[in-house]
Amino acid sequence: MKDRVSITMLEGGIADVRLIRTDKMNALDPAMFAGIAEAIDTLKAMKGLRVVVLSGEGKAFCAGLDLSNFTAAPPSGTSNNPASGRSLGGRSHGIANLAQYVAWGWREVPAPVIAAGHGVIFGGGLQVFSGADIRFIHPDTRCAVMEMKWGLVPDMAGFPLWRGNVRDDVLRELTYTNREFRGTEAHALGFATHVSESPLEDAMALARIMAGKHPAAMRGAKRLCNATAYASDAELLQMESDEQDQVMRTPNQIEAVMAEMQKRPAVFAE
């Protein structure tokens, strides 16, 4: 992982996660797939994690699949790798294969994930970006649902991640044509939450606000947001009640109230 993805823990339980294959614009080769998956697993098991900020070092967030590695053998233990030529039908990471997990897995991280995008966000990179709960993008960022250019279909969890964000006919057009669009349009179309001249700085500012909230309530809210895409009304109503029962009148919930009333930062027990 260390030569592809870095994790730096900041004050307040914020994980600064960066794609660091700068010489290739953070393109996805077998080692990058393995590195992102390992980073996600690390974050899922991390105690005291409040918020994740995901970004790319160098000139781009992620330029998509590294085609020079398309037929390369995958690293040991990385089954279902799109660069390996193997079948992708197997499920190696819960409901996903490895290629899907590097995008979908951000939804499985218990804490909120904020992505900061700049430069280029193509193909698989756009799907990794879309796995974040909230997405900041520079207005000049070049974006594309790129796979059709190479005779492929988007297969890294893009469709379940874009569902509900991007209008159906718009997604079809962009998928069928692989037309390039910029960050400002990405925001208008639903691929990004905010347009920002300084996406990483603004993502960090939001992370600091979110890190000061009741962590158990934040995790419950993320579970509810995740379930909204597939659960029935009855299931969501029950989930709301169950999540509230887990946090209401606990010491941390009382601390959240007292901190607001006293206009001070909350101090939560893990």
List, run by run, the mean pLDDT of 10-residue segments along the chain (270 residues).
Answer: 93 97 97 97 97 98 87 47 64 90 98 98 98 98 96 95 96 98 98 98 98 97 95 97 97 96 93
Q: Which residue range(s) make up the domain with 176?
A: 5-210
| Residues 201 and 251 both lie in one domain | no
| Residues 37 and 132 both lie in one domain | yes
| Residues 39 and 86 both lie in one domain | yes
Q: Is residue 269 part of a domain?
A: no
pLDDT at 77: 40
| Residues 69 and 184 both lie in one domain | yes
**Which of these three, 210, 229, 252, is where a domain ends?**
210
| Residues 235 and 205 both lie in one domain | no
Alpha-carbon distance of 57 to 112, in angstroms, equals: 21
| Residues 117 and 221 both lie in one domain | no
pLDDT at 89: 80
Q: Is residue 251 part of a domain?
A: yes
Alpha-carbon distance of 206 to 208, in angstroms, equals: 5
* Reported pTM: 0.92
Q: Is residue 267 part of a domain?
A: no
Report the CATH number that the domain containing residue 183 is assigned in CATH.
Answer: 3.90.226.10
| Residues 193 and 94 both lie in one domain | yes
pLDDT at 71: 56
Question: Contact 145/158 with Cβ under 8 angstroms?
Answer: yes
Question: Contact 144/179 with Cβ under 8 angstroms?
Answer: yes
Report the number of distinct structural domains present in the chain: 2
Note the Cα 160 to chain centre separation in Å: 13
Alpha-carbon distance of 49 to 147, in angstroms, equals: 34
Q: Report the side by side order of strands in the sheet with 194-195.
A: 5-10, 14-19, 51-56, 113-117, 134-137, 194-195
Report the CATH number that the domain containing residue 230 is assigned in CATH.
Answer: 1.10.12
Q: Is residue 192 part of a domain?
A: yes
DSSP H helical segments within the chain, as ranges? 30-44, 98-108, 124-130, 158-162, 168-177, 183-189, 199-211, 215-227, 233-247, 251-262
